[in-house]
Amino acid sequence: MSLRPRVIPVLLLQNGGLVKTYKFKQPKYVGDPINAVKIFNEKEVDELLLLDISCSINQSEPDYNLIHEIVSEAFMPIGYGGGIKTVDQAKKIFDLGIEKIILNTSLQTNPDLVSQISSIYGSSSVVANIDYKKNIFGKHKVFFKSGTIKSEFNPLDWALKLQDAGSGEIILNNIDKEGTYSGYDIELLSNLNNKIKVPVVISGGASSLEDFKNAIHAGASGMAAGSMFIYKRPHNAVLINYPSFNDFKNLYN
């Protein structure tokens, strides 16, 4: 894998299908995840993030058969999140060929799960996904269960806690920006990078290569995006896409 900041498509899974949401709501079916993975293979993406939003909502286990199908088709590293509550479940997913486990909702009640998994598989294999948005007072708060349960944690303190627990990477995902094409939350990304030592992947709001460049300047280790790689604007027609090699050359200059 390259040492340059990564550009990472996010695939949302729900009941076996590929969906896209807007601010974590209105899930819209956009196709078969296997077909999307095959296209991303051809486009030589850096890595993929698979997030099964039906697991947290339904409190169900990961769909191991679907994960196996996707990994069998993929040529790139994959991080998976959704329904992981135990070390045994993490082991099953790692055994399927997943490179990184992404934890979120389970950490609300069991933050020790980070250290339990990282002590076996290493911190680089455990990613903490922090979903957050502003409350009515304009303060950022962390949310769980696909944005439906508000906590009293702020993203910075929560990230520090999860870093100390053994998480080797943080995904910072702004719920208010997800699916809006309004640009990343660069201010919070910069603040977080000044306080923690582990790599940070920014997510929520990407619309252009300029957004990626802004995130790189703010210290992002990776830039994740969903709508930008699933839809063609302005009418949001489904069209799997990814920047070309020449686009990347300009991005990192």
Query: Residue 14: inside a domain, yes or no?
Result: yes
What letter represents residue 85's amino acid?
A: K
What's the rounded Cα separation, in Å, for the pair 34 and 63? 14
Of 133, 161, 126, which Cα lies nearest the Cα of 147? 133
What's the rounded Cα separation, in Å, for the pair 99 and 78? 6
Query: Residue 45: inside a domain, yes or no?
Result: yes
pTM: 0.94
Query: Residue 81: inside a domain, yes or no?
Result: yes
Q: Which residues are catalytic?
A: 131
**By residue range, what is the domain housing residue 31?**
6-251
The pLDDT, as a whole number, for residue 235 is: 87
CATH of the domain at 88: 3.20.20.70
Query: Residue 148: inside a domain, yes or no?
Result: yes
pLDDT along the chain (253 residues), means of 10: 78 96 95 96 95 90 97 97 97 98 94 96 97 93 94 96 96 97 97 95 96 94 96 91 84 68
What's the rounded Cα separation, in Å, for the pair 230 and 233? 10
Query: Residue 227: inside a domain, yes or no?
Result: yes
Q: Identify how many contiguous H helices and E strands the chain contains and give both numbers.
A: 11, 14
The pLDDT, as a whole number, for residue 244 is: 86
Number of folded domains in the chain?
1
Query: Residue 1: inside a domain, yes or no?
Result: no
Query: Residue 235: inside a domain, yes or no?
Result: yes
The pLDDT, as a whole number, for residue 251 is: 73
Query: Residue 193: inside a domain, yes or no?
Result: yes
The pLDDT, as a whole number, for residue 101 is: 97
